[in-house]
Chains A and B, each alone.
Chain A
Amino acid sequence: MNHILRMIDVVILKPIRGTGETLILLFKTFLSLPWIVFKVRETLRQMYISGFQSLFVVSVVAAFTGMILSLQAGLALKDFGQADLIGQVIVVTLTREMAPIMTALILAASIGSAMAAEIGTMSVSEEIDALEVMSIDPVKYLLLPRIVGFTLMVPALSAYASALGVLGGGVVAQTQLGVDFDTYLNLVLEILKTKKGLKDIWVGEFKSLIFGITISSIACRQGLNATGGAIGVGNAVRLAVVTSFLLVIILGYFVTAIFYR
């Protein structure tokens, strides 16, 4: 019986408690938002780390994703003599889904893991306890600039990834499918100007915002809960990345279903 209760605790209750803790932490961060004015410098530093330092990876992945999409979908469309419509396929796929999810996954793996490791190391070396002893709120001091900086950078990088993916797709469309680049770009711009195109853009940005909040809060929570030295930090990083990946995919589906169903 004891064994069963402990199993229930580990398998079912622990993840539920963890989720609750993350949400409460997020709520506390939200309440601390007015203190952001005192943390502008640190927030900008986090934005630089999340945004600028990930720029190269995001650029390469985005450009090649657009190119792969263009080639794969374009070859299929070419069979039906519709290769000219490749711009429409790429812009819709990238702005709606691919760019936000791709950016979120890259940032979860690179910045989210680093964030969890940084806070986790502080936690196992009892720096967080020291902050609390000095009456410094770790939420305001550590979490607020990280969550805000990261959350602001995800939509920006997602928009950048969409643009770069569209350009990469255009290059492949011209060289491999024989679609004129100007025609491709005109079609893309025409689609983005429509009501549906604008909706695609803002839903994609909203999705990125949700992903940003999710990844940063999970990383911070896992970091804060890290115990047991280097192994504990490693576990926290692993859990942060895995949970972020899962939630990005699940929330991505829900947001799409809610807005496009």
Chain B
Amino acid sequence: MHRRIFRAIFNRDRLDLIVGIMFFLIMGFTGFITIVQSGESDIKKPALLPVRLETAENLKVGALVYILGVPQGYVRSFYFIQTHVKKDDTHDHEIVKEQYVLAVLALREIPEFREGYVIRTKFMEILGEKVVEIKPGREFSSPVLDVATLDLNRFLTDEAASVIPILPANKYLLEAGNYDDPLFQASMILMENRAPFREIISNLAEITGKLNQGSGNISALINSPRLMDGGEDTLKEIQVLVREFGTASEDTRETDSIINFVTGIIGFFL
């Protein structure tokens, strides 16, 4: 009985059923791709480049990364790293604590680094934000082999890797310098030398006060009537000189057409 009903249900319009199932499977697959799966396709996934920084001062997460002046990515995250390393230059191989900042840069693609490469943090504009600048090195230099990179899938899925990225062993970690702008450095100099600057300013104020009061050597010189008269005479002479120069230039302009005519005739005969 059951079998008969089962057959009646499934044998009827079998083609319609198959096509319908295919349609719903396609819809389901499209739904899975467009609703459940992440919006970023593999092509858009960035390459992660870990870089060792001396300091991450003034650099923010999301700061742009320029490769040869072209924006190619952003700073994804920073990590403060403390490791114990053996000091080779001492005889007793002393173990010291090394501290640095690891910045993970998300780039469209990792360039080929060559000897003499430059990675530095700098202010792109005077009042702008700090960015990372990469110059991968000239083509005639030898390439930097085994540059350390991070696996994005592991970085996103492995919780341990996302807290402190696990750097691949025996790979070369690129180092970045820090280049602050002149304005910032000037402000730092000002801050560090506040006492001498304050002294200079107070001296200037004292001199200006004396000038205003008419006391002191410079003010005596400025207030001297002889100097004033001499200055006025000089100005009058300069005025006469300028007027005469103007008259001379007008005369030259008037004779210009005659000179041109004469030049033309001589040119014709020659």
Report A's interface with B, CB cutoff 8 A: 1-2, 5-6, 8-9, 13, 15-21, 23-24, 250, 253-254, 257-258, 261
Whether A19 pairs with B34 at a CB distance below 8 angstroms is no
Whether A16 pairs with B34 at a CB distance below 8 angstroms is no
Per-residue contact bits, chain B 8-52, to A (CB 8 Å; 1 contact, 0 not): 011011011111111110010011011100010100000000000
CA distance A15 to B21 in the complex (A): 10
From known contacts A254-B34, A258-B34, infer whether A23 and B9 are also in contact, taking CB-CB under 8 Å: no
7 tightest CB-CB pairs across the interface, nearest first? A20-B20, A20-B19, A257-B34, A20-B16, A16-B20, A19-B20, A17-B16
Whether B15 pairs with A20 at a CB distance below 8 angstroms is yes
Determine which of A13, A257, A258, A261 lies in contact with B17 in the assembled complex, contact meaning CB atoms within 8 Å: A13
- Of B1, B16, B21, B30, which is in contact with the most chain A CB atoms at under 10 Å from its CB? B16
CB-CB < 8 A to B186: which residues of A? none
Give chain B's interface residue range (CB within 8 Å of chain A).
Answer: 20 to 34
CB-CB < 8 A to A19: which residues of B? 19-20, 23-24
List the A residue with the shortest CB-CB distance to B9. A9
Whether A254 pairs with B19 at a CB distance below 8 angstroms is no
Q: A3 to nearest B CB, angstroms?
A: 10
Whether A2 pairs with B1 at a CB distance below 8 angstroms is yes
Whether A2 pairs with B2 at a CB distance below 8 angstroms is yes
List the A residue with the shortest CB-CB distance to B10. A13
CA distance A258 to B39 in the complex (A): 10
25 contacts between A and B (CB under 8 A): A2-B1, A2-B2, A5-B2, A5-B5, A6-B5, A8-B9, A13-B9, A16-B17, A16-B20, A16-B24, A17-B12, A17-B20, A20-B13, A20-B17, A20-B22, A23-B19, A23-B20, A23-B23, A24-B19, A254-B30, A254-B31, A257-B34, A258-B30, A261-B34, A261-B41
Whether A24 pairs with B15 at a CB distance below 8 angstroms is yes
CB-CB < 8 A to B19: which residues of A? 19-21, 23-24
Determine which of A6, A21, A258 lies in contact with B13 in the assembled complex, contact meaning CB atoms within 8 Å: A21
Q: B143 to nearest A CB, angstroms?
A: 37
Residue B245 at the chain A interface, CB threshold 8 Å? no
Q: B196 to nearest A CB, angstroms?
A: 47
CA distance A254 to B41 in the complex (A): 16
CB-CB < 8 A to A5: which residues of B? 2, 5-6, 9
Whether A2 pairs with B13 at a CB distance below 8 angstroms is no
CB-CB < 8 A to A16: which residues of B? 16-17, 20-21, 24
Q: B225 to nearest A CB, angstroms?
A: 62
Q: B11 to nearest A CB, angstroms?
A: 12
Whether B16 pairs with A2 at a CB distance below 8 angstroms is no
CA distance A13 to B19 in the complex (A): 12
Whether B1 pairs with A21 at a CB distance below 8 angstroms is no
CB-CB < 8 A to A17: which residues of B? 12-13, 16-17, 20
CA distance A154 to B5 in the complex (A): 43
Whether A20 pairs with B34 at a CB distance below 8 angstroms is no
Whether B18 pairs with A1 at a CB distance below 8 angstroms is no
CA distance A28 to B13 in the complex (A): 16
Please name 6 further chain A to chain B contacts, defined as beta carbons within 8 Å, in addition to the given A13-B9, A17-B12, A23-B23, sorted by A numbering. Answer: A16-B16, A20-B13, A20-B16, A20-B18, A254-B30, A261-B41
Q: A255 to nearest B CB, angstroms?
A: 10
CB-CB < 8 A to B23: which residues of A? 19-20, 23
